[in-house]
Structures are given as C-alpha cells and as structure tokens.
Amino acid sequence: MSMAISRRDFMKVTGAVGAAGLLAACGGNSAASSSAASTASSAPAASADESLALSDGPVSMTISWWGGDSRHEAYQNAIKEFQAEHTNITIEPTFAAWSGWEEKMAAAFIAGNAQDVCQVNWNWLYNYSADGSKFVDLNTVSKFLDLTQWDDAALDACYVANAQQCVPVSMTGRIFFWNMTTFNKAGITEVPKSLDDLMAAGKAFKEKLGDDYYPMHLGAYDRMILMVFYLESKYGKDWADPVTSTLNYTEDEIAEGIDFIKSLVDGHVMMNLKTYYSANSDTATHQSNEWITGKIAGIFEWDSAASKYSSALDDANKDGFTVGEEIKFGDNNGGFSKVSMGLAITKTSQCVAEAATLIDFLLNNGKGAAIMGSECGIPASKAGLAAAQEAGAVKDLVAEANAKVMAFTTNKLDPLFENNDLKASGTGIYQEVFDTVDYDGVSGADVVDTLLDGMESVGYTIG
C-alpha cells in the first residue's frame, strides 16, 4: 500500500462511532412485555397473540431509521400524525445518514438497547438475528399489523428463523442516475447505454471539461455492486447461491471484474478513490461539492435514492437530473433486486402492541402511507401504495427508477453479500480491495485473494 492514508485507514484511526443515543425507552401499562421477552425456537411461526392490548396509560416509545433529509421529514411528519390519533403515546425518534449507522445499530442490538421499532436492512435479519433472538415474530401482532397487505414473496424474504422478523417497506435495485446538464456541456446528449458510451464519456469529460470533471463516482461498496452487475451480465449466473452463499465465480472471473472497475478509473469514467477522499474525506457522494455542482455527473444507486441525489444538486444542475437506463455489459441482464429495508420490533420492547400499531400506520394506513409516500422507495404494502398514489406522494423519479429496475433484474442476492465486515464504509473488505487498486495501481489478480479471504471469513463457501 502507498503511504497516503486511505479511507479505510482514516476510519480506523478516528475510531468506530459509538452507540450513544440508541437507548430504547418504552413505558406504560402495555401487555406486550411477556411476548417481547420471549426467545426464538425452531417451532413453527406463532399465531396472533390475543393477550396483547394497547395501553390506556401513557406510553413512551422509540423508533430509529437512516436516510436523507426528505426521508427524515416524512417520518417525523407521519409520527406527528400518529401521535395526534394516539394521544397517550409519545414517540422519540433517532435518525441520521447511512454512514456509520449500521455500526451504531449493531452495537445496540448486541447490547439489547435498540429502539422499539427499527428500520432494518434485509440482511440484518441474518447478521444479527439468525436465531430469531432480536426481533419479534410479527405474526404474533397481526391484530395490530395487517400482514395481508404484502405479497407472500415479499413476506417470505423477511421470514428468518421461523419468524416474520420484519415487514418490507419496499423492494429496490441499482440503476444509473445522470446529471445531463454536465453531460450536455461535454457534448453528450443521451444517457450512456453501453460500456462504449461510458468510456467515450470519460474521454469527452476529460478533454472538454477538464481533469476535475467525471461522468461518475462510486464508493467501494458501490463498486462491488457494479462489479457483480458486470459479471452477471457477462456470465449469466448469480454472484452466489441465494440460500447457501456458495460463490458461483472463479478467482479469474472475479479478478476480471475488479479489472473492469479499474478500467473505468483509468478511463476517467470514475474518480479515483484517493482523489475523492483527499477532497471529501468521509463525506457521502450526494453531499460532496463535486456532486452538488455537477463535477461528478453520475451515480449507480438504489432506485429509492433518486430524490436524495436530485434534491442535493444546486440550481444550475437540478434540472439535469435524469434516471438512466440499465446497461448490459454482456448477453445477460446483470444486477439484483432485494428488500430495500424493513420495519421490525425489537424483542426488548415493552410496548409491542403500540409498536405494531405504529408500523401499520406508517405502511398501511391511508394517512401515514400518504405522508411517507416513496421516501423509502415504492411501497411494498398494497394499501400503502394505493394511499400514496392517491395522495400524489409517489415521486415520479423514484417510480421511474423502480419500474426500470424491476423490469430488468432477475438475479438474486445472498444474505452475506452485505455483511458489515465486507461492506462497511471505510473499514470493510470491499473498501480494502478497491482502495488498494486505486492507491497502488494494482490489478485484480493482486487483490482477488484479499476479497476471497474476506468473504470466506464471514461465511461464504469458496469453490
């Protein structure tokens, strides 16, 4: 490695963010405590617990989520409406941007002091509650949470350890977003639709706009997703078995994928990580000056992130934001769709009935779902989607992006791909691999063992 400090090293030096402020504080005369304290078993899923009841007395409840400013506003407005209808319930929210969030929540899950209701990533069910010990089986709260509003396939994706550990808020996948204001300045009038288009854009940006303009920037985790997208496009097979996490790619194929990412950096399509971190340290792409002012003109992101990236642009660039097309890098459609996020109730909660009622309000209720709209992606709840559409709260950009993703992607994601030891911003194995490529200029063959060793360490079966 070079002597320049990488983002992975920067995060190690500055230390992991603590779990302060993640204490659950639920009170009141709720009958939920006995259910919440139950432990998981290998028995079939529980039926509704008829003993659960809403408290008549004052209840203090907590909820946590991550996201951008518009998501924060939607949650807070929906919570205000919920409290207006349930005047005995006070809700304390905890929220922030994604960076460092999983580390905070992991510490809270381990310590047993996470919020009553938690917005969770799908793979957290496997990472932190593979034995069913962290989250309530929502089948037991079906008196308060209408599970019939979700398709069986969506619910099944969140059914782990014989328990419905969360309900999906939305389904999502990755797609390209472009700032066509900058592309037009470079003489490009159409969104990139092929690898040749990407490479041509890199050359045009460098020649016509200068060295500090790039068609795209991706962090390490994003690069890993694009690499898998590329390999699946070319070879037509899932990255790994979606059940057993047995890797489906050879060492040589993975090295080829890493070299594909390196070629985008070498071709001025993507900003070198060293360059980005030197200017921005740990700042998220949508918060960087380069994105805001159009010097970075593209991103490969979750469809639900459309509003976050669009709203971050300054006035000179905002009108140029465009949902791109999925790019085929081979004969197959690459990429995957997944449960974007879910809402779960922690087993340490002392107000399970109230927590379930809140989730139902946010995702199924006409008032709550209309306020939430598409801030967490296109609603997976049938009632929630209908309410959001009727209220005109489904943002066109998010709907367009989601429709393109769902029509294109066919591959499945395995639960270990997003393991925090692999994907953690600054400290994960993906970061180490792509930092090494960019800082030291090495090839995929030089770092593929680092990636495979890291994958094996979290439970992948390597052929």
What is the tens place of the pLDDT at every residue in 277-306? 999 998 999 999 999 999 999 999 999 899
Q: Which of the four pLDDT bands, split at 50, 70 and 90, describes residue 425?
A: confident
pLDDT above 80 for 83:
yes
Q: Is the pLDDT of residue 448 over 90?
A: yes
Dist. CA 299–CA 179, nearest whole Å: 9
Per-residue pLDDT band for 46 (boundaries 50, 70, 90) equals low
Domain map (residue ranges) of the chain: 16-172+340-402, 173-337+409-457
Report the distance separating Cα 306 and Cα 164, nearest Å.
29
Per CATH, 16-172+340-402 and 173-337+409-457 having the same topology is answered yes
**pLDDT recorded at residue 17:** 36
Q: Are 325 and 241 in contact (CB under 8 A)?
A: no
Please give the CATH superfamily to which domain 16-172+340-402 belongs. Periplasmic binding protein-like II (3.40.190.10)
Residue 179 has pLDDT above 60, yes or no: yes
Report pTM. Answer: 0.80
pLDDT at 24 over 60: no
Q: Any idea what the Cα angle at residue 276 is, between residues 270 and 278, rounded to 5°?
A: 150
What pLDDT score does 316 carry? 98
Place of tokens 């009553």: 116
What is the β-pairing status of strands 298-302 and 167-179?
Answer: antiparallel
CATH class of 173-337+409-457: alpha beta
Q: Which of 15-19, 21-25, 52-56 has the lowest mean pLDDT?
A: 15-19
Give how far Cα 103 sits from Cα of 23, 172, 417, 458, Å.
Answer: 15, 22, 16, 16
First-to-last alpha carbon distance for the chain, in angstroms, is 28
Give CA–CA dist 140/143, Å, rounded. 8
pLDDT (average), residues 245-258: 98
Q: How far apart are CA 190 and CA 457, in angstroms?
A: 43
pLDDT the model gives residue 110:
94
- For the cut 80, the answer to whether the pLDDT of residue 12 exceeds it is no
